[in-house]
Chain A
Amino acid sequence: MTPAAAHYTSTGLDNKKLAFWAFIGSECLLFGSLISTYLVYKGRSVSGPTPHEILNIPVTSVSTFDLLMSSLAMVLALAAVSRGDKVWARFWLGTTAFLGLVFLGFQYYEFTSFVREGLTIKTNLFGSTFFTLTGTHGAHVAVGVLLLLTLLVRSFQGKLGPEKAINVEVTGLYWHFVDVVWIVIFTVVYLIQ
């Protein structure tokens, strides 16, 4: 990877950053389609379990809070990398990844308990749309955790100086986007039943 400063760009915006913004725009349509499908099919399942019977708002509120806090840690990680503070960079990158993993743990708990209670991806329209939507989001979180752990390893290898802050920045862009998508999903799926 070449230091961003080595490249002249017409807008002054780093190529990677612009690509990630375009990618996020594209992802909006992906999640938009998934969320629209969820909404269109809401209340149309011919058999249970229904969202009302099965969704656990208190537990999911905790995981939502966890994911929101990970965004804070992400901001602090970028700040630490930008000022060349290796110790805090590792701490906050590790924290962000850890909070992401905690979120995935909550999702694993949620999915398995739903399956125990009789809701699988095959059961009804709610099951198909719910697992596909939240599962796609979970996969995005998993990719984000992978990116964060990669950055963490690079930091321990001594290859994540301030000149590589752009890599942390674009990972942060992605991470915050995935976080924002969750806020929409939490609202649409869990809060507005």
Chain B
Amino acid sequence: MRYFSTLLLLLSLAASLSAQTSFSGLVVDENDEPVIGANVYLAGTYDGTSTELDGTFLFETTEVGEWILTITYLGYENWEATIQCDQSAQSFEVKLAQSTNDLEAVVITAGAFEAGEGKKSVTLSTLDIVTTAGATGDVIGALQTLPGAQRVGEDGRLFVRGGAAYETKTFIDGAYVAQPYTSTVPNVPARGRFSPTLFNGTTFSTGGYSAAYGQALSSALILESDDLADHTLTGISLMSVGGSLSHTQRWENTSVSVSADYTNLQPYMGLIPQNIEWDQAPKTSGGQVIFRHRFEEGGLLKAQVQHHASSMALSTLNPQLLEESIYVRLENDYTYAGLSYQTMLPGDWSLKSTLAYTRHEDRTRTIAQINERQDAITGNLQLSKGIGETHLLRSGLNFIYEDTQEGLRFEEHMEEHGVKEPLVAAYLEDDWTISKKLVARLGARVEYRTSTEELTLSPRWSLAYKTGEYSQIGVAGGRFVQTPTTNFLFQQPGLQSEEASHLLANWQWQKSGRTIRVEAYEKSYRNLALQTEKELNNEGGGFARGLDLYYRDRLSIPNSDFWVSYSYLNTERTFDRFNTPIQPGFASPHTLNVVYKYWVNRWQSMIGLTGVWASPRNYYRPDNGALAGQTTAFRDLSFNWSYLTQIKDHFTVIHFSVSNLPGFDNHFGEQFSQQPAADGTYPATTIRPPAKRFVFLGVLISIGEEGASIY
């Protein structure tokens, strides 16, 4: 009998187990539209279902007790509720909230053009850079097609939003780079020193940048070096102007790259007519070693050393008289060594540190002999930590030590200058996600310049607000401080720092393949170095304001990618030897770039065209003592053809490019004699590009594992 009762008990238990609880309901999104195919289930059980075409669901469970009802759908936040399975019929109406994943989250974009993997702002990849016609494989050349950059054809460096070239600074892995350009003589454009293939992230900021970057009044070019090389690979490049050989070896946790390059423009310049009378065309030789290692605990060590020697010699008119020609020879030796280490520390702190050394020596031989040598040691130490989901804290220390020595010898006369500029800085910054739609970056930077005992505080701030699924607005601003250039410091070592403040606002719309961006800015300058009749002081200043437009489209025309950028600039300043406010010689009020790339599958070729038009700039005329001259508008139409093929099973690219296809006659102003002729006028000669066109042919062969290439 007692067995019987036990059996009864067991049976009733089994019955209760099979009694079911049912769940039904409706799942909608933020617009009350039904969500189709959402997963509705009791977490930890097999029981659940997918929502129907009308967003409804119904399922049953034999489970009992407390469970969590879960609803998941890609792109939406998970929904959860604790429920009791008590054989009842339960009904739910659920509204899912869109998740802020990295695809849709609001990001700080004011002022910055980011490039690289996984970045959501406006991007230029390594491939974009090498296939941009007119850029000739130079990062700087490609960035000049973006809004905010000015075209100063005789110089080649980056001029941003009414700022002089020295106001744009380059940073590699957070550390200031002392000499980012090749060495050159006046009116022969410089190029960037660093190859685009070395970096996996590039941020070109045209204003309002983070407190982590200092000593730049106008713009920061922020480069993040690559991690371990992907493949073992040998690269051979043969160019109409030289060649290079590189080898990269990849082990499990280590990669080493060694490369050597040589360029000599002599044979090329013998074929193509030049505006310059070269005695020795520019030639460069050098090499580079890059070592990268990932430690077992996750730390990453990178070391890079490059050395290049270059020289050129030419005959030019004697600037004193412009009558006879004089011989000028420039030799340069350049060494860069960078060491960086990054790792995670206990307590979720992330550490990034970089130490860089640059030595740059220019030897100019002309009527006089001028030697200029700069040694620079720069460093960056940054600690960052995410606090909860809402704060990302960054703090760091920077130091810059620049020692510049110049010696001038003219016949028996000797003159020597030297400037040592040590500087230390500390910064603190917080990226604060206030809501899903609003993010703020608030930071401050303190700098101490030892030579003048200046202590400066630079607040920086930036806000971004998401206005729609694909659009956002942003504002940014701050104070920016910079040591004057060494030319001024030679004359007056105690010259105070120069200063700018930025205010900018932007609107950006971005949807797969298309980007529109509008940014307005206002910049004011104070304490600029000014040469008056009596002295060199800090009484210069001025403003720059303008509007930048950018449109990029990879979708509308099949197999095409194009961008259009337009910059309007209104700027005046007192600076250098200009004591009344004037539009400086490096500013064009209007700049328009159109970059077009087309992939022709049948020809296995990428064809590119880049058109540039920049309105005339002012130049200095000694006869009336002001920037009264007007250059021609800068006009260029460059063509680029990259043909992709296989040579003996090795991936090969043949690049062909021509600049200034239509042969525009661009004038960059005039060079005047420093002494007036007998009749009181100043003899002058027109400054033109070194050659009307530049034609380039190169073959790039990648020898390595399947699927490997140097891009």
**Chains A and B bind each other:** no
